[in-house]
Amino acid sequence: MSDEVLDRAGFIGRWEVARVIADHRGAVEGVFDGFAVIVAEGKAAATYAEEGLLRMGDGPQLTATRAYRWQFSGDAVAVFFVDGRPFHRFRLDAGEVAAEHLCGADLYRVRYDFAGWPFWTARWEVQGPRKDYAMESQYRRVNGA
């Protein structure tokens, strides 16, 4: 782990995002390559916005986006959808931390790994009647960001 502090200021900036998706139900793999920009809002919040190219299996390459609002409080981050609904919470920890979110009957479980900070990963396992996939995202700070 570098000397960089794992706090709100440490997340602010531009990140390369490389994501692999394993759709167990559709027996197809996907790849996303893009960037996430995390921008400070006020004293304790930030917006997370990502955009990149997604290809599932042999399908066409599509532009994909997602956005969240992060609220920092002490050593924790509450993640919200852009419409204000709560998504999940995680602790700012130098190691690995877990969280989950129940969306209807689909359960989303995430493990963040900050051990290599400022390189970090988010590993999602999603299971339910409509979904069954695993997704790993790797984040690497863009120089000068």
Taking only the tens place, the pLDDT of each residue in 24-79 is 998 999 999 999 999 999 999 999 999 999 999 999 999 999 999 999 998 899 99
Helices (H) and strands (E) in the chain, counts: 1, 10
For the chain, the helix, strand and coil percentages under 3-state DSSP, each to the nearest 5:
5, 65, 30
CA gap 15, 48 in Å, rounded? 10
The total domain count for the chain is 1
Identify the band that residue 144 occupies on the pLDDT scale cut at 50, 70 and 90. low
In a domain, 142, yes or no: no
Taking residues 98-104, report their average pLDDT: 93
In a domain, 144, yes or no: no
In a domain, 3, yes or no: no
In a domain, 22, yes or no: yes
Would strands 106-113 and 13-23 be described as parallel, antiparallel, or unpaired? unpaired
CA gap 86, 4 in Å, rounded? 28
Residue 95 has pLDDT above 90, yes or no: no
Write the pLDDT tens digit of every residue in 56-65: 999 999 999 9
Residue 116 maps to which CATH number? 2.40.128
Taking residues 122-141, report their average pLDDT: 96
* Average confidence score pLDDT of the chain: 93
Residue 114 has a pLDDT of: 94
What Å distances lie between residue 63 and 3, 29, 101, 130, 143, CA to CA? 35, 17, 25, 23, 24
H or E element, residue 67:
strand 62-73
In a domain, 101, yes or no: yes
* pTM for the full predicted model: 0.92
In a domain, 2, yes or no: no
Residue 128 has pLDDT above 70, yes or no: yes
Q: Could you tell me the residue range of the domain that residue 28 belongs to?
A: 8-135
In a domain, 13, yes or no: yes
H or E element, residue 34:
strand 28-41
CA gap 13, 40 in Å, rounded? 9
In a domain, 126, yes or no: yes
